[in-house]
Amino acid sequence: AVPAYSADNTPAAKNPTAIIHTSKGPITIKLYAKEAPITVANFIDYAESGFYNDTIFHRVIKRFMIQGGGFTKDMQRKNTKAPIVNESGNGLYNDRWTLSMARTNDPDSATSQFFINTKMNSSLDKKGRTPGYAVFAIVTDGQYVVKAIEKTPTMRLGNYADVPVEAVLIERVEIIK
């Protein structure tokens, strides 16, 4: 096979694929290694270390997004590595089916948690000097699984809102390079 080349005639960065194996089925994603190199490396590192094994989608909001990658089934927050720099100005947008890093109000606070946009969420994009949420991947197969998770009934659990009544497990994240 002939490798793809970018405009400056160097081999184009290969976009790895990952499969998020969930209790509702597999979600296949393409990682944007060129546009979000730090974020993609961080995601791959968490996946390959087994960090995402048996975590849950802990925040599900219909017509907005599904968020996971940081809590166990019993809503215990997992210890993460240091936060990464925000790559939200990378030319990618929070369109439907894209994955972005979850963070606090501190733009450079993302660790392991990510979310899948279930609609176009342009309010989450970088605007001028206002940082956004860094898009780093897109769902290429398994949109029906994302929709099934999005339809999961939710409840309030302690300090957490929008928690699925029945846990939606991330069994593991498989990286295919």
State the CATH number of the domain containing residue 160. Answer: 2.40.100.10
| pLDDT band (50, 70, 90) for residue 3 | very low
Answer yes or no: is 52 within a domain: yes
Query: How confident is the model over 37-96, as pLDDT tens digits?
Result: 999 999 999 999 999 999 999 999 999 999 999 999 999 999 999 999 999 999 999 999
Task: Please determine, for residue 102, whether its predicted confidence score (pLDDT) is greater than 70.
Answer: yes
Beta carbons of 146 and 119 less than 8 angstroms apart: no
Q: Specify if 129 maps to a domain.
A: yes
Residue 25 lies in a domain: yes
Number of domains in the chain: 1
Whether 9 is covered by a domain: the verdict is: no
Which residues sit opposite 175 in a β-bridge? Answer: 18
- The residues, ordered by sequence, that sit 6+ positions from 88 with a Cβ below 8 Å of its Cβ are 107, 125, 126, 131, 132, 133, 134, 135
Q: What is the pLDDT of residue 6?
A: 44
In a domain, 5, yes or no: no
10 within domain boundaries: no
- Residue 56 included in any domain: yes
| DSSP 8-state symbol, 78 | P
pLDDT tens digits, 132-174: 999 999 999 999 999 999 999 999 999 999 999 999 999 999 9
- Rounded to 5 degrees, φ, ψ at 83 are -65, 160
- Looking at the domain assignment, is residue 4 inside a domain? no
Domain with 33 in it: 17-176
The reported pLDDT for the residue numbered 13 is: 56
